[in-house]
Structure 1
Amino acid sequence: MELRHLRYFVAVAEELHFTRAARRLHIGQPPLSQQIQALEAELGVALFRRHQRKVELTAAGQQLLPRARQILADSASAVNAVRRAAEGEIGELRIGFTSSLPLTPILHHSLQQYRQSFPDVKLTLRELFTAAQFDALENRQLDLGFVRFNGPAPGTLIRVAELHRDRLLAVVPHRHPLAAAAGIYLNRLAGENLIGYPRDSGAGLRDVIRQLARQNGLELNVVQEAGEAITQIGLAAAGVGIAILPSPLECVQLPAVRYVPLLDDDAYLAIGLATRHDEDSPLVANFLASVRD
C-alpha cells in the first residue's frame, strides 16, 4: 500500500466525488479511478459505493479513513523531523564546561543565544575539568566543551578555538603582606605556602601554573590541595596559604581574602571551545556559528 494511494483515497473520501477529488489532486479523473481500484484490489475490499450521482464510503472505507489520515500525518511529521534534524533544528547537544565558566558571560551568553535560535534542541550540560572533557570528546560522550586550556590542542583528534583570556589572581589572606599590592609577579610567591589543584584533577590551571613556574625558574611550595576553587578561596581565607585562580572567581567576596593580579605576560587562563576535528554534526555547526555571532 503506497502513500500516494492513501492520499488519493483520502481526497475521494473527503470530496465524495471523483471529479472534484481529481481536480484537488491535480490529476485526471480516469487515472484517479484506476488508482482507487488498484488500492481496493490490493486490500481485497470495496472502499466506495459508486452510484450514478453519488459516492459513499463502505464500512471498510470508514475504517480506513482515520487510519489513512494518521499514516499521512505521521509520514509528513517524519519528513519534517528528518529535515529539521539535517538542519540542526532538533536533537540533543551535549556540552561540557569547567566550574568557573558559569561565572563568565561567555557561557550564559552563548547558551542564551543558542536557545533563542534553536529552542527545540535539547541541551545536556556537564561540569567537567578540562582533561575529562577532552576524554569525553574523544569517546564521543560530548559534542563540544568550554575548556580552560592554554596551548595547542592535545593530540590530533581535538581542536580548541580560543575565545577569551582571564588574568590569573593570587588569592591572598587579608593580613598577608602581599594583600595590599596592586599586582605582583609570580616570583613574589617563591617560598610562600600555596594551595593548588590535585595532580589527578584534570584542571588545566594546574598545568598553566607549573609552566609559568618553569619559565621563571621557580619551585612552588604547594602545601594544600583542593579540587574546588571555592574550597581553595575558603582555605586562603583561613590562612592556610595563597591560591592562584582565574579572575572570574573574584566575584566570590570573603572579607578575609584579597585578590591580587599576577603581572606576568603569560599569567592568564584561556577559555576555549573544544570540538572534534572530524565533527560534522549540524547541531555543533549551528552552536559554533551562534558563538561567533
Structure 2
Amino acid sequence: MDITLRQLSYFVALADTQSFNMAATRVNVSQPALSQQIKEMEQRLGTILVERLPREIRLTRSGQAVLVRARQLLADAQDLRRVAGLGRGLAGALRLGVIPTIAPYLLPVALTRLKAADLTLDIRVREAMTGQLVTDVAEGRLDAAVMSLPITAPTLRAIPLFRDRFVLAGSRSRLAGMDRAQEHLRPDTLPQDQLLLLDEGHCLADQALEVCGMGRDGRSLDLGASSLSTLSGLVAQGFGLTLLPEISLPTETRAAPELATRRFTAPEPARQVALVHRLSTPDDGWLGELADTMREAGEELIRHAAGLPQAA
C-alpha cells in the first residue's frame, strides 16, 4: 500500500513539534492514532524514521531525508487543490485570453475586482488576436477568452457580456471643421480617404470597415497602426479619423488631450463583447462568476465614457 498524504502530514507535524502529543493536537487526532500512522508509514518505507526517546523524539537520517520530500509533496498537493479549485467556483488558477482592443481597458478594472474577491486566485492572462485565442481555448491552453462576436467554432460557446459602441474620433480642430449642420452622423458617410484603422488581423479593423460599408481595397490612407493607443495618438494630432470602441475612451482621451469624439446617430454601430469557453468545460459556477465580473467592469467603463464631453 502506498504512503498517503495524511501520513505525510502527520509525519511533518511530528517533525515540527518534536512530540507525539503536540503533533496529534495539531492535526486533530488522538496520540495513539497518530503513532499508529507513523508506524505504518515506516513499515511501508522499510525504514525507521523516528528515534523514540523517553522525553523526546529525533528524526533518523532517513527521517530527515523523507521530511524534505514530504514537505515538497504536501506543497505540490496544495497547488493541485488550488488548480482543481477552478471547478468549484472561481478559485485556484485561471488561464484567460483577451484580444488587444479589449485587454488594456477591461483588464485593469476586471482584475482588480477578481483579486478583491479572492487574493489567492492565480490569473494567467494571454493577449492575442481572435484567431489565436479561439485555437487556444478550443485546444485547452486557455480556460476562456474575452473577445468580440461572431465566433463560429462549433466546440465553443459565447456568453454575451456587454455592447461596446463605436464613436468617431479625431482631433478637436478636425471634428470642429466637420459639418455640424449635418443632422445624422452615420459611419457610411465618413470620408473614406481620411479613415485610419488598425493593422490587418485585428477584428476591430474589419468591424470598422463593415460598419462603414467599406473594403480595404482602393483606400488611399491607412497607416495600419498596431494598437488603439497609437491610432488615438495619430488622429489626435490631425492624421485622419478613426472609430474607437466606447470602453477605450476613458483611457485614450486621458492619454491624448487633443483627442475629440462624436457619437453616431442611432442605431449606433457596436460590437458585442463575449466570454468564450469550450462547450465541454465543467462549470459549477466559475463561468458565471467570471462573466459577471467582466460584464460589471465593461459596464463601469461604458458609464464613465458616457460622461465624457463630446466635440463641440
Alignment TM class, shorter chain as reference: 0.5 to 0.7
Residues 225-240 of structure 1: pairs in structure 2 closer than 5 A: 225-227=223-225, 228-240=227-239
The separation in 1 between residues aligned to 2:107 and 2:285, in whole angstroms, is 17
Letter in 2 for 1:127: E
| Deviation larger for 155-164 or 36-45 | 36-45
Distance 1:23 1:128, change over 3 A: closer
Which residue matches 2:113?
113
Residues 12-27 of structure 1: pairs in structure 2 closer than 5 A: 14-15=19-20, 24-26=31-33
Residues 94-105 of structure 1: pairs in structure 2 closer than 5 A: 94-103=96-105
The separation in 2 between residues aligned to 1:242 and 1:207, in whole angstroms, is 16
Q: CA-atom RMSD, angstroms? A: 4.5
The separation in 2 between residues aligned to 1:37 and 1:126, in whole angstroms, is 47
Shift of 1:238: 4.3
Distance 1:277 1:205, change over 3 A: same
Shift of 1:127: 2.8
Distance 1:172 1:221, change over 3 A: farther
The separation in 2 between residues aligned to 1:41 and 1:279, in whole angstroms, is 39
Distance 1:131 1:69, change over 3 A: closer
Residues 242-281 of structure 1: pairs in structure 2 closer than 5 A: 242-251=241-250, 252-253=252-253, 254=256, 256-280=258-282
Distance 1:47 1:69, change over 3 A: closer
Letter in 2 for 1:102: P
Per-residue CA deviations over 1:50-92 (Å, capped at 9, x if unaligned) read 9xxx6987x9x64355456556555554544433332224345
Selected match of 1:287 from 270, 285, 290: 290
CA contact (8 A) 1:189 1:220 kept: no
Shift of 1:115: 1.6
Shift of 1:160: 2.3
CA contact (8 A) 1:196 1:224 kept: yes
Structure 2 unmatched runs, 5+: 22-28, 297-312
Letter in 2 for 1:287: L
Letter in 1 for 2:278: R
TM-score by length of 2: 0.64
| Deviation larger for 279-288 or 222-231 | 279-288
Which residue matches 2:203?
204
CA contact (8 A) 1:144 1:284 kept: no
Distance 1:239 1:14, change over 3 A: closer
Structure 1 unmatched runs, 5+: 17-21
Equivalent pairs counted in the alignment come to: 269
The separation in 2 between residues aligned to 1:5 and 1:185, in whole angstroms, is 71
Shift of 1:175: 3.6
Which residue matches 1:142?
142
Which residue matches 1:19?
none
Shift of 1:114: 1.7
The separation in 2 between residues aligned to 1:138 and 1:37, in whole angstroms, is 46
CA contact (8 A) 1:137 1:143 kept: yes
Letter in 1 for 2:169: V
Which residue matches 1:124?
124
Look at both structures and tell me which one has the larger radius of gyration over its CA atoms.
1
Shift of 1:258: 2.8
Q: Which has the higher strand share?
A: 1
Letter in 2 for 1:131: G
CA contact (8 A) 2:3 2:41 kept: no
Which residue matches 2:195?
194
Letter in 2 for 1:155: A
The separation in 1 between residues aligned to 2:192 and 2:52, in whole angstroms, is 99
Shift of 1:48: 6.2
Letter in 1 for 2:110: S
The separation in 2 between residues aligned to 1:112 and 1:134, in whole angstroms, is 25
